[in-house]
Amino acid sequence: MAERAALEELVKLQGERVRGLKQQKASAELIEEEVAKLLKLKAQLGPDESKQKFVLKTPKTRFHHVGQAGLEPLTSGNPSALASRSAGITGVSHCAWPQGTRDYSPRQMAVREKVFDVIIRCFKRHGAEVIDTPVFELKETLMGKYGEDSKLIYDLKDQGGELLSLRYDLTVPFARYLAMNKLTNIKRYHIAKVYRRDNPAMTRGRYREFYQCDFDIAGNFDPMIPDAECLKIMCEILSSLQIGDFLVKVNDRRILDGMFAICGVSDSKFRTICSSVDKLDKVSWEEVKNEMVGEKGLAPEVADRIGDYVQQHGGVSLVEQLLQDPKLSQNKQALEGLGDLKLLFEYLTLFGIDDKISFDLSLARGLDYYTGVIYEAVLLQTPAQAGEEPLGVGSVAAGGRYDGLVGMFDPKGRKVPCVGLSIGVERIFSIVEQRLEALEEKIRTTETQVLVASAQKKLLEERLKLVSELWDAGIKAELLYKKNPKLLNQLQYCEEAGIPLVAIIGEQELKDGVIKLRSVTSREEVDVRREDLVEEIKRRTGQPLCIC
C-alpha cells in the first residue's frame, strides 16, 4: 500500500513537472523526455482497480446556507506522503466541514458585517462597553448551569492539563467575569460564537457553531429601569435591521410560578408543564392540553385553570386585570411579578415602544436561570424560506432578568442582579441575505475604488508606481497581477467586483502627463493631470480630502 502511495506521489510530481515545462515553453526534447518518464511511472502503477473516488459535492461559489450541506468528506484511503524536504507535511486529501459548522464566504461576511454594524451601533448608543472571553472555559465553570442541555456541551480532550469545555453561551462567561473581577456593576455587550452539540435530527438546519450578540446590565439598581432599556434596545435593533414587523412578548417567572401554584401544579411538574405551555405559539390550546393531561399526567381541571390564564395576552390593561384577579392576587410571587410588569409598561410607554410589547402569559421557555421578567421578540411576517425550519416561529431575540447566576460563582455567594438580551443573528443573517437578493442589490465584497490599468504592454512599472501612490494617499486601489494584461480583462474585472473607477495608463497619456480616468458604469473617460488624480478620485468617491 505504501509503495503504491509513493508511486502515486511520484506520478503526481512528474505530472506537475511536465505541466510546468509546457507552461514555461521548455524545449520539445526536454518535454518529450519528461513525458516518457511520466508514462513509465504510470505503467508501473498498473490498472487502477480501487480507483480513489472523490465524493466532493461542490457548494455553489456564492454559496448560501448549506448547514449540513450534503458535503461528504473525501475518502483518504491513501494519505500520500510527500517525500520532499518541506518536512513533515503529509498530504491528507480531506475537505469537509465539521458537522453543524460552515465557512463564511466574502458575501456572507458582507451581510454579517452589515448586521453587526447596526447592532453594535445600538449597543454603543446605550453606553455599553465591550468585552471578550476565551472560547473555552474550565469545565467546572460550565458544569451545572444548563440543566438538561449540559449534554450538548463540547468538551476538550483530556491532554494532561485542565479539563476544558467550549462555551455554550455568553451569559455564564459573563457571570464568571463579573465574579472574577469582583465587579458589582457594568453595562457590557459581547458578540462571539458559541458551541452546542445539537442533535441534527431534531434541529435540522441549526448550527453547532453560531454567533450570539449579548447585551447585559449588571448591578443593583432601582427596579425595571435597566429592564426597560433592554427592551428599548431590542426594539431599536429590530427596527433598524428592517427585517419586517415584530412583536416583543413579555412575561415574568414569578407570575408563571404563582399562576401554576394557584392552578394546582406540583413543583415537580413545573418545568415540564412550562415547556408544554410554551408551545402555544405553535399549536392550539387543545393540543397543549392533551399533552399536559395525556402525556404528562396533569389533572384535567388543573389544565383548564391553566388554560384560562395562558391564552391571554394584551397590554398593560391585562396586567391591571390580573392584579384584580381574586386567586392570582393572593399569590405573593405573582403579585410581585405583576407589580414589576406594571412599572415596566409605564417606562416602555415613556420610551415610546409600548405598542410593540405584548404581555403574554404563555411565554415560558428558557427559564433555567431567569428570576424575573422574561421576553422574546418574534417576527410577524416570516418571509418564505426554502428548506428552512421555522425556529420558534420567527423568534429573533430573547432575554430576561437573572439575579442568581453571578452568586453561583462568588465564593461568598454574593449576588449581582443582572438583566440582558441576546440577538439571534444567524436567523437575521439569512433574512437579510434573502432580502438583498430579492432586491437584486449587488453585495460588494471589496471596497476598492479604482483599478490601475494599462492600455498597452510594458507598462507594469508605471502601474506599480501609480498604485503605490494611490495607496499612500489612502485610496483603495488594485491592479491585476499580470505584466501585460489586456484592457478588456481589466475592465471586466472591475465590472465583476463592482469597482467604480479605472485609472488607465497609456503611452501617449504618459507623455502628456495625464491619466485617463474612466467610470465603469457610464463608460465615460476623461484625462486627468497626474498631480490632480488623487484629488479627483477622492472627489468622485465622496472621500474626505484629508487622510483621517
Distance linking the first and last C-alpha atoms of the chain: 62
Residues 176-215 binding a second copy (CB under 8 A) are: 176-177, 179-181, 188, 193, 195, 197, 209
Based on the shown chain and the rule CB under 8 A, indicate whether residue 465 belongs to the binding site for a second copy.
Answer: yes
The H-assigned helical ranges of 264-403 are: 270-277, 285-290, 300-310, 316-324, 332-350
Stretch that binds a second copy, among 215-223, 340-348, 376-384, 479-487 (CB under 8 A): 479-487
**Residue type for 346, please?**
E
Closer Cβ to a second copy, 137 or 426, answer by number: 137
Residues 278-307 binding a second copy (CB under 8 A) are: none
Residues 484-543 binding a second copy (CB under 8 A) are: 497
- Pairing relationship of beta strands 209-218 and 418-423 according to DSSP bridges: antiparallel
Beginning with the edge strand found earlier in the chain, give each strand of the sheet holding 450-454 in spatial order. 477-478, 450-454, 501-505, 514-519, 525-529
Closer Cβ to a second copy, 197 or 279, answer by number: 197
Quote the longest CA-to-CA distance of the chain: 102
Closest listed residue to residue 209, CA positions, set 22, 68, 371: 68
Return the sign of the alpha-carbon dihedral for residues 225, 230, 233, 239.
Answer: negative
| Cβ partners under 8 Å of residue 350, min gap 6 | none
Q: How far apart are CA 360 and CA 252, in angstroms?
A: 9
Cell of 388: 428552512
CB atoms within 10 A of CB 79: 11
Residues 72-111 binding a second copy (CB under 8 A) are: 73-74, 76, 79, 82, 84-99, 101-106, 109
Residue of the chain from 124, 457, 483, 529 that contacts a second copy (CB under 8 A) = 483
Give the shortest CB-446-to-a second copy separation in angstroms. 5
Closer Cβ to a second copy, 297 or 411, answer by number: 411
Residue of the chain from 72, 140, 355, 532 that contacts a second copy (CB under 8 A) = 140
Closer Cβ to a second copy, 247 or 480, answer by number: 480
- Cα distances (Å, whole numbers) of residue 71 to 96, 381, 435, 476, 547: 7, 32, 26, 37, 46
Give the shortest CB-122-to-a second copy separation in angstroms. 17
Q: How far apart are CA 420 and CA 189, in angstroms?
A: 9
Give the shortest CB-23-to-a second copy separation in angstroms. 9
Give the shortest CB-535-to-a second copy separation in angstroms. 17
Based on the shown chain and the rule CB under 8 A, indicate whether residue 253 belongs to the binding site for a second copy.
Answer: no
SS3 readout for 340-355 = HHHHHHHHHHHCCCHH
Give the shortest CB-165-to-a second copy separation in angstroms. 9
Based on the shown chain and the rule CB under 8 A, indicate whether residue 221 belongs to the binding site for a second copy.
Answer: no
| Burial of 80: CB neighbours in 10 Å, binned 0-12, 13-18, 19+ | middle
Residues 14-53 binding a second copy (CB under 8 A) are: 15-16, 52
Residues 376-435 binding a second copy (CB under 8 A) are: 404, 407-411, 413, 415
| Cβ partners under 8 Å of residue 193, min gap 6 | 135, 209, 210, 211, 212
Closest listed residue to residue 126, CA positions, set 217, 204, 46: 217
Closer Cβ to a second copy, 383 or 474, answer by number: 474
CB atoms within 10 A of CB 82: 14
Give the shortest CB-454-to-a second copy separation in angstroms. 13
Closer Cβ to a second copy, 247 or 323, answer by number: 323
Closer Cβ to a second copy, 284 or 468, answer by number: 468
Closer Cβ to a second copy, 35 or 135, answer by number: 135
Closer Cβ to a second copy, 212 or 276, answer by number: 212
Based on the shown chain and the rule CB under 8 A, indicate whether residue 481 belongs to the binding site for a second copy.
Answer: yes
Closer Cβ to a second copy, 73 or 352, answer by number: 73
Give the shortest CB-178-to-a second copy separation in angstroms. 10
Based on the shown chain and the rule CB under 8 A, indicate whether residue 544 belongs to the binding site for a second copy.
Answer: no
Draw the binding track, 320-359, toward a second copy (x: CB under 8 A; -: no contact).
Answer: ------------x---x-----------------------
Q: How far apart are CA 77 and CA 366, in angstroms?
A: 45
Based on the shown chain and the rule CB under 8 A, indicate whether residue 461 belongs to the binding site for a second copy.
Answer: yes
Residue recorded with cell 399526567: 297
| Cβ partners under 8 Å of residue 96, min gap 6 | 71, 72, 73, 74
Stretch that binds a second copy, among 26-34, 268-276, 379-387, 476-484 (CB under 8 A): 476-484
Please give the size of the binding site for a second copy, defined by CB under 8 A. 105
